[in-house]
Structure 1
Amino acid sequence: MTAASQIATSDDLLALILSSLNDDKAEDIVQIDLRGKTAIGDYMVICSGRSTRQVSAISEKLAQAVKDATGRTSKMEGRETGDWVLIDTGDVVVHVFRPEVREFYQLEKMWLGGDDAATAAPH
Structure 2
Amino acid sequence: MPVVIWKGKTLTTVQAKGNVTRIFPKSPERSDEAAARALQLVLGSLEDSKAEDIVTINIAGKSALGDYMVVVSGRSSRHVMAIADHLITDLKEGGQGNARVEGLDTGDWVLIDSGDIIVHVFRPEIREFYNIEKMWAAPDMEDGTLH
Q: Structure 2: how far apart are the matches of 1:11 and 1:101?
A: 28
Specify which of 71, 88, 92 is matched with residue 113 of structure 2.
88
Q: Which residue number corresponds to residue 118 of structure 1? A: none
RMSD over aligned Cα atoms: 1.2
CA contact (8 A) 2:38 2:96 kept: no
Which ranges of structure 1 fall in alignment gaps of 5 or more residues?
1-7, 116-123
CA distance in 2, matches of 1:61, 1:23: 9
User: How far is the alpha carbon of 1:65 from its aligned partner?
Assistant: 0.2
Aligned to 2:63: 38
| Contact preservation (8 Å) 2:66, 2:115 | yes
* Greater fraction strand: 2
Contact preservation (8 Å) 2:103, 2:109: yes
In the aligned structure 1, how far is the partner of 2:129 from the partner of 2:53? 15
Deviations 1:52-89 (A, max 9, x none): 00000100110110000115000000000000000001
Q: In the TM superposition, what are the counterparts of 1:1-123 in structure 2 within 5 Å?
A: 9-70=34-95, 72-113=97-138
For structure 2, the residue ranges without an aligned partner over 5 or more in a row are 1-32, 141-147
Larger Rg: 2
Q: TM-score, normalised by structure 2?
A: 0.71
User: Could you tell me the TM-score, scaled by structure 1's length?
Assistant: 0.85
Tell whether the 8 Å contact from 2:51 to 2:83 is kept in structure 1 after alignment.
yes
| Pairs aligned (count) | 108
Structure holding more helix per residue: 1
In 2, Cα distance between the equivalents of 1:109 and 1:69?
30
**Per-residue deviation at 1:113?**
1.9
- Relative contact order, higher structure (CA 8 A, sep 6+): 1
Using the TM superposition, give the Cα deviation of residue 29 of structure 1 relative to its aligned residue in structure 2, in angstroms.
Answer: 0.1
Q: Which amino acid aligns with 1:41?
A: G
Query: Aligned AA for 2:56?
Result: Q
In the alignment, the residues of structure 2 paired with residue 16 and residue 52 of structure 1 have an alpha-carbon distance, to the nearest angstrom, of 23
